[in-house]
Amino acid sequence: MSSEFRNETSVLRNYFRPGDVFILDRGFRDVIDELHSHGYKTYMPESLLEGKNQLTTEQANRSRCVTMCRWVVEVVNGRIKRDFKLFRQEYFNRASTHLMLDFNIACALLNKFHAPIADRLDAQQFLELAKTRLNTINHLGAYIQNENINRRRAIFLTIDAEHPHLDTFPRLTLYDLMTVALGSYQLKQARSYYGEHVRRNGKYEIELANDIEDDLPLILGMDKYLVRGQIKSRNVSSKVYYAYILVNRATSNSLADIAGYYCNCLVGNRTVGCCAHVMTILWYLSWARFRTVEPPAPFLDDIFYE
C-alpha cells in the first residue's frame, strides 16, 4: 500500500484527493504517516499507551466514534463473504489471476439485487448523543480506579438478581438500551455473556455495595447505589471483568435513573456508548429478568464439558 501511494501515477493516487477521509482499523497503523504526508485525513481506533492496560475515556470515546462510522464497511465486507463462498476462504493461487474480476461480479450482483444500506431512522439522534458525550468525563470510572474498588470484596454483598434489593432498579425498553449503547451490537453480545454467566449455577448473581454507600454522595451525588457484576472474558479464559452501574434510588423507569457506568475492560472507560460487559448487566437487570430468556445454544452443554 505504501508503494502505491508513493507512486504519483498509481491508480490509488489518481483516485483519492487531498483532504479525503480514511476510516481505518488498527492494521493500517504503519501507513498512517504515509497517508498524512499526501494530505489525507485518517481516523483509527486508539491503541493503548505504553504501560497502560485500559484506554482513557477520551481515547475510548474517539474509538467508539470511529467504529460507528466504520460499521457500514464491516457490513459490506460481511455480505460479500456471506453470499459468496469464494471470498469466505483462502483464495487459490490458480484463481488469483481473475480475483478482481470475480470481486467486481460479486459486487455488481449485490448492487443489483440486494437492498441498499441506509441509515436508521434514529441515526441522527445517535450521532448527536455521541457528539454530546464525546468530552464527558467518566466520574464513576475515576472513583473506581482511585479507590481501587476492583480489589475490595468485603464491601460488596453477593445477591441473586431476583433479590428485593433490586426492586428499585429501573425497567427499561430495548430502545432505551440501544440508546445507551448507541447501537445494537452490544445488545446482541449481552445474551451470549448472560448465557455464560448463568451456566455456573443457574442463577444470575451480582454484587451490591454495602458500606461504600457512605462515600458515594461525596463523589457522585446523593441517593444512589452501586451495582457490580463479574463477566468472564471471551478471549482470555482466566480473565474476569468488573462492570459497575450507578443507579438512582428514586426510580422513574427511564435512562435518567442510570447515573453512570464503568468496566475495567479495554474500552470500559467510555461515555460514548458502553462496553458489552456493562450492557450485559444493564440488559438483564432492566429488561431480560422480567422475561423468559434462554441462554443461546443450551444443547451444547451436553456435548462440551469444562
Q: What is the pLDDT of residues 17-61, one digit of tens each?
A: 999 999 998 888 888 998 999 899 999 999 888 888 999 999 999
SS3 for 306?
A: coil
Quick check: helix, strand or coil at residue 43?
strand
pLDDT of residue 197: 67
**In degrees rounded to 5, what are phi and psi of residue 187?**
-65, -40
Q: How much of the chain is in helix, strand and coil states, percent to nearest 5? A: 50, 15, 35
Q: Is the pTM of this model over 0.75?
A: yes
What does the alpha-carbon distance between residue 270 and residue 34 come to, in Å, rounded to a whole number?
Answer: 29
Q: Are strands 156-160 and 205-209 parallel, antiparallel or unpaired?
A: antiparallel
Choose one of 63, 82, 113: the last residue of a domain.
Answer: 113
Within-domain flag for 305: no
Cα 44 to Cα 34, 63, 77, 133, 212: the distances in Å are: 14, 7, 18, 19, 38
**pLDDT band at residue 296, thresholds of 50, 70 and 90?**
low
- Asked if pLDDT for residue 208 goes beyond 90, the answer is no
Q: Residue 10's domain spans which residues?
A: 2-113
Number of domain units in the chain: 2
Separation CA 116–CA 246 (nearest Å) = 40
pLDDT at 233: 84
Q: Do the domain assignments include residue 126?
A: no
Whether residue 163 sits in one domain with residue 79? no
Q: Name residue, grid cell 451444547.
A: 300
Per cent of the chain over pLDDT 70 is: 87
As a residue count, the chain comes to: 306
| Three-state secondary structure call for residue 294 | coil
| Each residue's pLDDT tens digit, 63-122 | 999 999 888 888 888 999 999 988 887 766 777 788 889 999 999 999 999 888 888 888
Are residues 267 and 149 part of one domain?
Answer: yes
Q: What is the Cα–Cα distance from 296 to 136, expressed in whole angstroms?
A: 35
β-bridge partners, 206: 159
Domain co-membership, 78 together with 168: no
- Among 83, 113, 143, give the residue marking a domain's end: 113
**C-beta neighbour count of 257 within 10 angstroms:** 21
Classify residue 227 as exposed, middle or buried by CB count within 10 Å of its CB (0-12, 13-18, 19+): buried
- Do residue 163 and residue 50 come from a single domain? no
Q: Which amino acid is at 288?
A: A
